[in-house]
Structure 1
């Protein structure tokens, strides 16, 4: 659908410690593109940072 609609990229943001999700996204072609400091509300047990990931839909 995204390709047919004309999208060139898909971006997503994921918590830096969500290793299973990061691995899954990399497995389907996403690449880490940037670090997002203080993206989430800080909690005592988890850092508030995220990683932005991107996949190209261009063939």
Structure 2
């Protein structure tokens, strides 16, 4: 069974991987999604990357 684990704001990648391991999951995929801020300047909308969200997908170890 697959489960997604998101790296929380006050958590390191290592902390997230430990949490996965404690729940009995191993990493099969890492995804990064950008987070944008919308700014309008002179009627034109710009999207500026301000952060990213890191998500690990894991499967239950047997």
TM range (shorter): 0.3 to 0.5
Q: Which has the higher helix share?
A: 1
**Structure with max Cα Rg:** 2
